[in-house]
Structure 1
């Protein structure tokens, strides 16, 4: 056993709350950065502290390669074995653990945020916990000076590509369990919850919380009872005459139209009318977007829970063969999604160049599939996949089905996320 391996073993054994995780398999073509809020926040923090973009790019490729072994997360350290051909070595990333004073300040701020407190005690780390930590001047996410790579390789960057890969895979772990962020700072979730409960108990015993003022508010001035009883009541106006009997009308035949889908349609019309009235009375800044007959039919079919409504609208439309694709486009992107389906356009050159740069940064050259660019559409012809750039600066994933391009997933700001959604589907 090497000195580094011996140190890692001793470090893990010294912490009963160290946790181990199975190695991640290769993820060819998948996204490297974390996908949840905490995973993304971790990734952004790690990338902000690195001085070498090339090491990060190499780390992303290495993280997807499946050449990191099982991961151990313990207070102040994340460790794994890295494999390069026949060579293996230990790589780790160390973090500054929080002091007792920093933990106390954090719990003091958490108790001032009821929603964060409730979520934390139930085992959930709310994103607002980060705001509470910043208020307490406590750093939870990695920052300058408290993240250091330690690897048996001969690279000079810090972190090296192997340690960077470990940081990216740590974001995948945070996607699954954000409480690991507490562990690398020195507390596992149960310890942290116990500390927080102790802080709450101490506040209750010392009266740290302000007691509520139970003094009743003074009653408003009113009319004395004797004056009210002495007042002569105003007589009520006479009742209006009763209406006469209405003429009986014969109802026309229904013609086979079901009546039960009509109620949601009436409610939809009322909701649209309410939006318009809200604008007219100054309660919303802009009126509802006007829709033509085709757009409104697609909207109703996409949002109406009864499939019979969609079937009738399809039959009545001018283009029933396009109707289902239009409905799916609306379900993923609303009116903008429908526009992306139907109308190509030419985006600014810098937007497309930025997209290519983003894709190249997330995939190695041998991993990125060849892309064909036409108007606002990046097409992976060999795989039958396509990204369409919208006027809202988002990328809409499409898939080729039976010779037609169909909307396939919700849009993303990042083209790499949109492409990963297609490749992982």
Structure 2
């Protein structure tokens, strides 16, 4: 495989890796004349290369290599540009171009110059390099002879065509981001911007101290703290007569179910309306499971359609239950709301009284002797069951005979016989 200088995982404040440029389209009849830089500072970099070169033919070959995309990924660190360049041999050449970094005192003068004008900082943030900043007391751009190219090829030209190609591509990097030039001179983008920010803040604070303090508008503290009557609060806005309809949600491939979104939005609107009217959220105390059951039970229609199965699967997964458990819980919620769900899931020991009177009432209605267990009375054939809720109502359940698979049926009733009204199962005492 072709060697590469690229190691983006090692990049940081003082190391940046740029992917290889794609080949440029040919510009007939003289593609070598096509410009390889667009900004004035990019042209200045190219001028430093060309004016310090000893052989125009090597420059032309290097320009052609750059246009043909033969320069691999470029790594920039303080004082150094590195890349592999493909030449006439199978193995690419390792090329580097060195530039002198600025010393500490030079950087201080450069940063002072940049902070003198807010426009300089704004231009850098817009990826522009002001002339006054780059060509001031501390020149950033190299001049003729300031670039020191080196290559692993046997050509001793200054520069060889591989180094020239890297210089031309570096000009394109500078076009896109002048902070590459600052990195070459020794400082990373974040360090430069932080230093400029500190200088700007210091100068602004110093300027504020030198100005005469302006009189502050306002009132005296004694006047502000003096007791005074407060104006009445504005009247609250009238409560809407009913929750508004939610917007229509379009279906999108791979997106959420529009009907489920509509259901959630409608439910949220109803809860918000109840909170405005009563000051209480009717479902605020529900657990995650109870709220999932409530939402599933609110879906209109009966039977498990494809959309309903998808909703049940989603709600069940979110609450750590199965779709079958959710379907049974929905039946209990539709039978008796939160109390009905508690009857399904929470056996309890009722006190003497209502529970003890239920068996004689069932016998008086020509029904067999139901077997008691905690708050439940079960038909001797095991296909009908009555459960006493903590709300004092009886809830009817049915199951296939011999199976412990109870499902809520009918309407809760304070009378155990009344709770069995309407059940299709045979309730007589026949064995």
**Rg comparison, structure with higher value:** 2
TM-score between the two structures when normalised by the length of structure 1: 0.43
TM-score between the two structures when normalised by the length of structure 2: 0.42
Bigger relative contact order, structure 1 or 2, given CA contacts below 8 A and separation 6+? 1
